Amino acid sequence: MSTWPNSEIQKATPERTAEIRESLTEIRGRVSRAVEALGSVSNIPKLVAVSKYKPSADILVCYELGQRDFGENYVQELVDKAKELPIEIQWHFIGTLQSNKAKLLASIPNLHTVQTISSEKTVNALHKALPSDRIAPLNVLVQINTSGEDAKSGIQPLASSSSSSLGQLSDLQRLAKHIVMSCPKLRLQGLMTIGALDLSLSANETEKNADFERLTETRDILERWLQAELVPEEADKNQVRRWGDESTGKLLLSMGMSSDFEAALKAGSDIVRVGTGIFGSRKTRDKLKEPGAPVS
Ligand SMILES: *Cc1c(COP(=O)(O)O)cnc(C)c1O
């Protein structure tokens, strides 16, 4: 880890600095207003600034405004940025995780959460790769494919109406149980989804986003099941919470991006992931395949 402040990071220009400050302030304001509109809420939702493809200088502008949670999609890009940026940053990995990249990802000391867990294979690779002297368990969120689109990864949501055949665990239950029972270096913190962008919502704000509702319902079902199935044997024994938020024990929901985070907060989101709204539009990956461009 380099010493801080790191003089090698080029500072953002005054214009860029002003631009990012303004956007971050605006997004924070919109988050606060969405939360206020909900009435009393016990938890303030977490804003993760999604900084993929954006230079470390941009991240520093947000950091200086107190932003600590940042999201990245590509392992190598995250490793490079984590090396040169302050250790106080809490990194969220939000890209597709291949098990052969788990070791590299797990080597980041201030990796805070991996939001995109969708198979036992990647869970095991990640768990195995984590240093045994890691102080806090690594938070993981299981990614749910709420919109059922082939292009999106994640596992099937649960629904109270579709009773599974007796004694048969769903993929999500099986994976959750595996994380809680067999991966002591991980904490099953909650669920994450992308969902289909519901364009009808802007026209009619009172309508609900079906994918966000599905994630909420899936969380409620899973939480009840975990409490009934696993508490007596596992969680109470050593007083360590094996799932949910560190302080409340509730399973958290990560949903909502630049275009739909207000709808997500209305549906009960605990973590919103905003990129474009803070840093502006991104170049496509093809345009970035130049020397020095992040590839993974
Ligand atoms: C890129 C990305 C975001 C941020 O998207 P914006 O629309 O730029 O806010 C959020 N979540 C995931 C999983 C992403 O890949």
CA of 278 to the centre of ligand 1 (A): 11
In a domain, 170, yes or no: yes
Beta bridge partners of 46: 271
pTM: 0.90
In a domain, 290, yes or no: no
Quick one: 19 exposed, middle or buried, by C-beta within 10 A (0-12, 13-18, 19+)? middle
Q: Give the distance, in angstroms, between the CA of residue 76 and the centroid of all CA atoms in the same chain.
A: 18
Q: So what's the pLDDT on residue 289?
A: 46
Radius of gyration of the chain (CA): 19
274 CA closest ligand 1 atom index: 9
CA of 275 to the centre of ligand 1 (A): 6
Residue 200 belongs to what domain range? 14-280
Distance CA 189, CA 180 (A): 10
In a domain, 228, yes or no: yes
Residue type, 101: K
For residues 146-170, average pLDDT? 82
Q: Which residue did the predictor score with more confidence, 123 or 43? A: 123
The total domain count for the chain is 1
CA of 37 to the centre of ligand 1 (A): 24
Q: Does residue 43 register a pLDDT over 80?
A: no
Residue type, 187: R
- Asked if 127 and 186 count as a contact pair (C-beta separation under 8 A), the reply is yes
Distance CA 103, CA 261 (A): 32
CA of 153 to the centre of ligand 1 (A): 14
Which residues have CB under 8 Å from 96's CB, separation 6+? 73, 116, 153
In a domain, 144, yes or no: yes
Average pLDDT for the chain: 88
In a domain, 251, yes or no: yes
Q: How confident is the model at residue 168 (pLDDT cuts 50, 70, 90)?
A: confident
In a domain, 229, yes or no: yes
The string of pLDDT tens digits covering residues 191-200 is: 999 998 766 5
50 CA closest ligand 1 atom index: 4
The string of pLDDT tens digits covering residues 3-32 is: 566 767 889 999 999 999 999 999 999 999
CA of 163 to the centre of ligand 1 (A): 33
Q: So what's the pLDDT on residue 232?
A: 52
The string of pLDDT tens digits covering residues 56-104 is: 999 999 999 999 999 999 999 999 999 999 999 999 999 999 999 999 9
Q: So what's the pLDDT on residue 164?
A: 55
259 CA closest ligand 1 atom index: 7
In a domain, 293, yes or no: no
Q: So what's the pLDDT on residue 206?
A: 55
Q: So what's the pLDDT on residue 199?
A: 60
Nearest to 241 by CA among 262, 258, 227: 227
Q: So what's the pLDDT on residue 60?
A: 97
Share of the chain above pLDDT 70, in %: 83
The string of pLDDT tens digits covering residues 215-228 is: 999 999 999 999 88
Pocket of ligand 1 (CB under 6 A): 50, 52, 73, 94, 194, 257-259, 273-277
Cα torsion 182, 234, 105, 273 to 10°: value is: 130
Q: Does residue 293 register a pLDDT over 50?
A: no
Q: CATH code at 266?
A: 3.20.20.10
